[in-house]
Amino acid sequence: MWVRGAAIRPVPPYAVVGRDVLEYIEDELADGGLGAKSELDDAFERFERTQPALAQHAADILARPLDETALALGYFLTIAVWLAFERAFGARLTEVSEDERNAADAALELEEQLRATHSHEPLELEDVMAIEQPAVLAFVNEHVDAALEPQDGDARDVDVDDVHVVYRNVLVQTLALSHAVGSTTGARPRELLA
């Protein structure tokens, strides 16, 4: 049975975000720690300053005329995932270049194509990403599911295509950040392969 993606490079163990970090970020965003507008604005400014390629691409997507739920989900997941990497790895997290962001996007696209041509295999793109960053994917999927769930018995009129656009961007961001984490020796994954 094929269990690894062919297009997505493995995430090194030292670059995997733990669930505890994501729970802390979620609590912080929900309980007013970063929920205060000024602190959230500061976090976004830090994101733009430290990860300009990722921030610009996210801003381009979130500037589209998206469904209200997809837009809120996009802002939340974008900042939450970046904060998780920032908190988990600190100075070991380096800037993702535009080329690296594009490479992560291309790897996901190629993985999707490979999965589509091998539909008899049990894993989807999300499964492959969950193998690489299990806590991040579980966190993202929980929030996507919650955004799509009916509330108080009423069906929500959420544009699923808009949610997919946001979800896809968060997957690219996750993969790009995963490969921007330096080892405890300071080398980034691509440097270790050279």
Q: What is the mean pLDDT of residues 9-20?
A: 94
Closest to 52 (Cα-Cα) out of 97, 10, 21 = 97
User: pLDDT per residue over 72-90, tens digit each?
Assistant: 999 999 999 999 999 999 9
Question: Looking at the predicted structure, is the pLDDT value of residue 12 above 60?
Answer: yes
The pLDDT of residue 192: 40
The pLDDT of residue 78: 95
Q: Dig out the tokens for 33 from the structure.
A: 């720690």
- The pLDDT > 90 percentage for the chain reads 61
Closest to 177 (Cα-Cα) out of 100, 115, 112 = 100
Question: Looking at the predicted structure, is the pLDDT value of residue 193 above 50?
Answer: no
Computed over every residue of the chain, the mean pLDDT equals 86
Closest to 103 (Cα-Cα) out of 166, 47, 169, 175 = 175
Tell me how far apart the alpha carbons of residues 70 and 62 are, in angstroms, rounded to a whole number. 9
Crossing angle (nearest 10°) for helices 134-148 and 19-30: 40
Tell me how far apart the alpha carbons of residues 157 and 27 are, in angstroms, rounded to a whole number. 27
Q: What is the DSSP letter of 154?
A: B
Least confident of 97-106, 119-128, 166-175: 119-128
Decide which of 109 and 152 is more confident: 109
For residues 22 and 141, the answer to whether their CB atoms sit within 8 Å is no
Tell me how far apart the alpha carbons of residues 123 and 103 are, in angstroms, rounded to a whole number. 22
The separation between CA 71 and the C-alpha centre of its own chain, rounded to angstroms, equals: 15
Of 6-20, 84-98, 123-137, 154-168, which one has max mean pLDDT? 84-98
Closest to 125 (Cα-Cα) out of 105, 97, 145 = 105
User: pLDDT per residue over 157-187, tens digit each?
Assistant: 889 999 999 999 999 999 999 999 998 875 6
The pLDDT of residue 127: 84
Band of the pLDDT at 191, cuts 50, 70, 90?
Answer: very low
For residues 147 and 76, the answer to whether their CB atoms sit within 8 Å is no
The pLDDT of residue 156: 66
